[in-house]
Structure 1
Amino acid sequence: MRDAPHILQVMAARGHGGAELYSTDVMLGLHRAGVRQTVVLHPDCPRLKELEDAGLTIDTDTLKPPFPLWRKWRMTQLIRRLEPSIVHCWMRRAAASMPANASHLSGNRPVIGWFGNYRDLKPYAHCTHLVGCTPDIAERMRADPDWHPADKATATDRIFSAPTFSSVTPAPALPRSELDTPEGARILLTLSRLHSAKGLETLISAMQQLPDCYLWMAGEGPLREALEEQAKQEGVIDRIRFAGWRTDRGALLAACDICVLPSRYEPFGTVILDAWSTKTPLVACAAAGPRAYIRTGENGMLTPIDDLQALVDAIRSVLGDSILRERIVSGGLANYEHGFTPKVVIDRWRAIYGACLASV
């Protein structure tokens, strides 16, 4: 094995999303830290050019259409040719593209499967190691009967956790005129896919009781038309801005009064880190991720899932109490700097790679 490991990163998704954003941020962070990598991407990956411009070695042939069987054959040829120290599969599609003998094609190499949420482990059958984005996800993996590495006796020693980190770049506040918002209005911001798991329907309903607020919804997804129709029916469409997928999250966060994460289902929630790192007050619903990290009144405000009145009350409390705002901003920033900065997380990934190499 080489002294300087060569990581083969495999990211098969081709759309926008939190996991896609995080995985490529990790690749960029490892590149800046001097880690040798080859990155396998779908040809339509939206951040392809950014990774190329940064100087990473990119392969888009292996995951090109049309047939999964051909992809496994191409993956086999690529692994044999590159002889990487580690193969790192980001999410289910990448793991499912692994040939059955991926670990043994040119030596007994680790094959890592990464989880951003709670998933069926069957597609990860050919992975020798697993990494979840929270300790809770890692614990669930240890108890899952569907993952059976060759050496079952050491299975629990081959499961790790590594948090996400915020890649928001500080920026001047987005001018309100760009989203047709009056100067005196309070701005609530969401950064998420427009999906039923995100609880955005509850926040739209809350707008009826928050007449001095405008809601900026940054993101796209299958629920957009339904959310727009709901906003019309509830008479709040004139104060909601569907901003689409954005790459200027720093400017949006700098402009808003509160970042809201009303998710019904959220294994972690990198939006928490986006808010903490930019000193933005945060209100979230008590899905698994926010519940594990947010302490009401200390680093954010936590409300029960789908509890309309509790969400309204929390937002009003933050808007109306400057001492509370300062306290949760200060607490969030302290938590971020202690455990979730890019350096902390990249160092964690390098330690995981070292532990994986030592275990085979």
Structure 2
Amino acid sequence: MTMLLQTMAGSPFGGAEEFFVRLACGFERVGIEQHCVVRPNEGRNAVLAASGVSFDELPFGGRLDVRTPWNLRKQLKRHKPRIVLSWMNRASRMTPSGDFVKVARLGGYYKLKNFRDCDHLIGNTRNICDYLIGEGWPVDRTHYLPNFVDAKPGAAISRAEFNTPDDAPLILGLGRLHDNKGFDTLIRAMAEVPGTYLWIAGAGDLKDDLLKLAGECGVADRVRLLGWRRDVANLFATCDVFCASSRHEPLGNMVIEAWAHGKPVVAQASQGPVQLITPGESGLLSKLEDVSALAADLRAVLDDRVLSDTLSRNGRAAFEADFTEDVVVAKYKAFFDEVAL
């Protein structure tokens, strides 16, 4: 009997998908017996394999995909897990119930219809847990378990790689090129933060729109879209300040990552950053959609070394207290011990 079986039907890129890999590898390091069923993804699955995580691949397709549910039943019969942990909507919907404890992990404010047959729900923020309870999910079956990030230090890359002067203040943004990430607001703010350069690492459908906007704002010569990158630690080692510009962000893994790498954080006041950041101590929060306020906060951090160092130091302390791998994996292990059949 396997202790844990995980099902993940993730997108090619995304924060939840990256955290799944970190968590599965963290479970492996502490000896939690597990098997994972995932979509094909060369990059992520290579990391699982390198860490010794046992996994199989299934398509997790649309409504007409009968192969995945059939094979999931075979996986469950083979491994006989005590706990099944499904990730988000599709995997939870396609994973059948059975003689095990079914748990779903939510990183957003999803509709509960896909999780009705679950025994327990995990929210990675307290606000998500409050939302679940407000939607009628039982309090005693709702659990807050936060994310952790990889804190391994990176090495600064050559700014010349992206035609950026060595002495120019450098702002970093991370995430899918999607409207929720607010990169349009950040690019507009760049017009009010002269002399600085902006690197945005991420892929998505808005690339051309964002490049066009940078031209309209007169900042195209200072904005670089890097595409999807796996060397996030190196990017943090290179930048001067991290900007979490999202207008919709349930958690904000990126904030925790910046803290872990000792970088000051400026963020729009979306859901996740508001829960994480103590304004003026572990970061700065600007009013949503206020371009000038975001620009002013960026200038404040870049112009005031004492403020920058204070935000970096306090952010790192917040990371070490609540968001390290050791802390979070121990919380998951205690949860499994509590609910396992």
Which bin holds the TM-score, normalised by the shorter protein? over 0.9
Q: CA RMSD for the aligned pairs? A: 1.6
Aligned counterpart in structure 1 of residue 235 of structure 2, from 229, 232, 252:
252
3-state secondary structure, aligned to 1:209: coil
Aligned-pair identity (%)? 35
Aligned counterpart in structure 2 of residue 131 of structure 1, from 117, 122, 136:
122
Contact 1:172 1:254 in 2 (8 A): yes
Deviation, 1:43, is 2.1
1:97 has 2:88 as partner? no
Task: Report the equivalent of 1:112.
Answer: 103
Deviation, 1:168, is 4.4
Amino acid at match of 2:313: S
Contact 1:14 1:45 in 2 (8 A): no
Task: For 1:58-207, list aligned pairs within 5 A.
Answer: 58-61=55-58, 63=60, 67-99=64-96, 102-103=97-98, 107=99, 109-145=100-136, 155-207=138-190
Task: Report the equivalent of 2:51.
Answer: 54
3-state secondary structure, aligned to 2:24: helix
1:341 has 2:338 as partner? no
Deviation, 1:66, is 9.0
- CA shift in 2, pair 1:61/1:221, >3 Å: closer
Deviations 1:276-303 (A, max 9, x none): 1111011001111111121222111111
Task: Report the equivalent of 2:338.
Answer: 355
Contact 1:15 1:46 in 2 (8 A): no
Amino acid at match of 1:85: R
Amino acid at match of 1:266: E
Amino acid at match of 2:33: R
Within 1, Cα distance between the matches of 2:87 and 2:175? 20
1:219 has 2:202 as partner? yes
Task: Report the equivalent of 2:272.
Answer: 289
Amino acid at match of 2:146: P
Within 2, Cα distance between the matches of 1:239 and 1:334? 32
- CA shift in 2, pair 1:337/1:74, >3 Å: same
Aligned counterpart in structure 2 of residue 25 of structure 1, from 16, 22, 26:
22
Deviation, 1:206, is 1.0
Aligned counterpart in structure 2 of residue 209 of structure 1, from 178, 183, 192:
192
State the TM-score, normalized to the length of structure 1: 0.91
3-state secondary structure, aligned to 2:155: coil
Structure having greater relative contact order (Cα 8 Å, sep ≥ 6):
2
Task: For 1:239-318, list aligned pairs within 5 A.
Answer: 239-318=222-301
Deviation, 1:68, is 2.8
Amino acid at match of 1:312: A
Contact 1:15 1:45 in 2 (8 A): no
State the TM-score, normalized to the length of structure 2: 0.96
Within 2, Cα distance between the matches of 1:53 and 1:321? 43
Deviations 1:289-325 (A, max 9, x none): 1111212221111110111111111111111111111
Q: Which runs of 5+ in 1 are unaligned?
A: 148-154
3-state secondary structure, aligned to 1:16: coil
Contact 1:203 1:262 in 2 (8 A): yes
Deviations 1:128-157 (A, max 9, x none): 110010111112112214x5xxxxxxx321
